[in-house]
Structure 1
Amino acid sequence: MTSRAERKYRAATAFQRRIGNPLLRRLPFQTLLETRGRVSGLPRTTPVGGRRVGDAFWLVSEFGERSQYVRNIKADPRVRVRIRGRWHTGTARLLPDDDPRARLRALPRFNSAAVRAFGAGLLTVRVDLDG
């Protein structure tokens, strides 16, 4: 990763960890992704942007495999997603062969703009929702 990309990563993750995520988690209709901590086994909740299409929920990780929730998915792909205030269980799949920039064009505009602006190493994630 270039030094510019590394600076973007450090600045964005510091902001998300200390300010953005704690505030967004409290909003009742913010979409949330819940993974299991790969070391602790405790639930980890991350605000995400994405869209449900049929029985799948699509999102793009702005830092790809460096994102903590992606690392948790690699350890245990069973997740929950809160969409419009309702929790759904599912199995997350990392799709490195998908074009994340093209995928962002099909996802909510505001979040997609932020992911494009701050992201480095984008990665598409699909959650296959149960029933």
Structure 2
Amino acid sequence: MSRLADLRFRAATTFQRHVGNPVLRRLPLQTVLETTGRVSGRPRQTPVGGRRVGDSFWLVSEFGEKSQYVRNIKADPRVRVRLRGRWHNGTAQLLPDDDPVARLRGLPRLNSAGVRAFGTHLLTIRVDLTD
């Protein structure tokens, strides 16, 4: 990882961990992805941007496999997604062969702009919703 990419990663994750995520996950209509911590086994909630299309929820991780929630998905793909205040169970799929830049064009603009601006290793994720 280049020095600039490492700096962007550290700045973004520090802000998200200590400021953004604690505030956003408390907002009732914020979309939240819940994974199971790969070490702790405890639920881990991360505010995300994305869009539901039929029985799937699509999102793009800005830091790919360096993201903690992506690492949790690799350990256990069973997740929950809170959409419009309602929780849905699902199974997450990492899609490294998908074009994340093209995928972002179909997702909410504000979040997509942030992911493009700060992201260093974009990775598409699809959650197949089961309820």
Q: TM-score, normalising length from structure 1?
A: 0.99
Alpha-carbon offset, residue 78 of structure 1: 0.1
Cα distance between partner residues in 1 of 2:20 and 2:8? 15
Cα distance between partner residues in 1 of 2:27 and 2:76? 26
Alpha-carbon offset, residue 123 of structure 1: 0.1
Where does the alignment leave 5 or more consecutive residues of structure 2 unmatched? Answer: none
Question: Moved runs in structure 1, 4+ residues, more than 6 A?
Answer: none
Where does the alignment leave 5 or more consecutive residues of structure 1 unmatched? Answer: none
Partner residue in 2 for 1:36: 36
Alpha-carbon offset, residue 108 of structure 1: 0.2
Partner residue in 1 for 2:22: 22
Cα distance between partner residues in 2 of 1:41 and 1:26? 21
Alpha-carbon offset, residue 70 of structure 1: 0.2
Cα distance between partner residues in 2 of 1:5 and 1:85? 34
- What secondary structure sits across from 1:125 in the alignment? strand
Partner residue in 2 for 1:76: 76
Cα distance between partner residues in 2 of 1:15 and 1:53? 30
Partner residue in 2 for 1:126: 126
Cα distance between partner residues in 2 of 1:27 and 1:118? 23
Give the aligned CA root-mean-square deviation in angstroms: 0.4
In the comparison of the two structures, how many residue pairs are matched?
Answer: 131
Give 2:6's aligned amino acid.
E
Give 1:60's aligned amino acid.
V
Cα distance between partner residues in 2 of 1:26 and 1:36? 18
Matches within 5 A, 1:58-73: 58-73=58-73
Alpha-carbon offset, residue 93 of structure 1: 0.1
Identity of aligned residues (%): 77
